[in-house]
Amino acid sequence: MTTTTSKRLITTTTTTKPRHLINISQLTNDEFSNLINKASHLKSIYKSEDNIEQTQKNHQKLLGKLVALLFSKRSTRTRISTEGAASFFGAQPMFLGKDDIQLGVNESILDTTKVISSMTSCIFARVNSHLDIQQLCKYSSVPIINSLCDKYHPLQAIADLLTIREKFGETKNLKLAWIGDANNVINDLSIACLKMGINVSISIPKSIQFDSNVESDAKKLATEQNLKFEIVNDPKLALENANIIVTDTWISMGEENQKQAKLKQFENYQINQNLLSDVNLASNWIFMHCLPRHQEEVADDVFYSDNSVVFEEAENRLYAAMAVIEAFVINKGDLLK
């Protein structure tokens, strides 16, 4: 936009706000399902041995660009998959750990975000609180991709739904049972499942509160699609006829000081063959876990069983990150493209 005054020429640029990935709830059902299609398509391209050089050239749409990874918490899968995805599209990933930059010590989130977004194509952000993600979205001129905060983990939900679809083909009318904490992973996973026609049964201890916003979004989605969304206490109730069994750590990053109290709250919530032998499961059941895993929430006899798909699920994080870069950065937030 150019405005001329009698004294001087003032030039201001009108920029459109980028679209950010904050959580799965913000996506329409079609947008979410298209992201899964995209992840699946990119996976087949990535794994294909045909014409590798040409395939690489065709996808290097971010050649010469930078992708920032602003991580204030540890990571194995998210770091590798986002760096890998950025490289696939020709961009240079730049890891900015909490001890590498001025943020939080010498510089505000506003100034840091303005500077990083002025030089990069997108920011994968793994931060402590959802408020941090909201601040980043407010100040960034490039897409912010929530790479885990205390409330959401959308990249994990995309990889998980890709894995479920690969295992079952059709997702409609499956049942997912979550046995564990009410945390960032199940918040996005429950919404993602409902968007893809999967019934969700969550078992959490009485003393743990499920996020009320996520619960009301989930209930609305379930009603619209004639699906079941329930929160129960008894793991056996949730597990009845389940096709997909999922758990996660009981002590998320940042909750280390609550470890003893939480271990007590989760007594009898460990997933093991003994528990599973007491319930009717679907014959084709699978076990999933976003990792890292601890013995307390799932025993080896399930974690390393033939029904476990945890390592395929981890690999799918790469294709989820690729799909997100293509949709939010290359296609500028047009998720139906």
| Cα–Cα dist 134/137, whole Å | 5
Residue 187 contacts ligand NVA per CB under 6 A: no
User: To the nearest whole angstrom, how small is the minimum distance from the Cβ of residue 184 to ligand NVA?
Assistant: 5
| Cα–Cα dist 35/43, whole Å | 12
Give the one residue of 25, 82, 113, 184 binding ligand NVA; rule: CB under 6 A: 184
Element (H, E) at 80: helix 77-88
Give the one residue of 67, 125, 162, 185 binding ligand NVA; rule: CB under 6 A: 185
Q: Which does 184 bind (CB under 5 to 8 A by kind): ligand NVA, ligand CP, none?
A: ligand NVA
Q: Which does 187 bind (CB under 5 to 8 A by kind): ligand CP, ligand NVA, none?
A: none
Q: Which does 72 bind (CB under 5 to 8 A by kind): ligand CP, ligand NVA, none?
A: none
Active site residue 193: no
* 121 within 8 A of 99, measured Cβ to Cβ: no
Residue 146 contacts ligand CP per CB under 6 A: no
| Cα–Cα dist 67/49, whole Å | 27
State the CB neighbour count (10 A cutoff) for residue 94: 17
Kindly name the residue from 122, 137, 193, 290 that is annotated as catalytic: 290
User: To the nearest whole angstrom, how small is the minimum distance from the Cβ of residue 189 to ligand NVA?
Assistant: 11
Beta bridge partners of 93: 67
Residue 77 contacts ligand CP per CB under 6 A: yes
Residue 82 contacts ligand CP per CB under 6 A: no
Distances (CA, A) of 233 to 48, 117, 137, 243, 274: 45, 44, 36, 19, 18
Query: With respect to ligand NVA, which residue has the nearer C-beta, 23 or 183?
Result: 183
Binding mask 305-324 for ligand NVA (x = CB under 6 A): --------------------
State the residue for tokens 């679209």.
19
Calculate Rg over the CA atoms of the chain: 21
Element (H, E) at 202: strand 199-203
Q: Would you tell me which residues interact with ligand NVA (CB under 6 A)?
A: 148, 183-185, 248-249, 252-253, 290
List, by residue number, the catalytic residues: 290
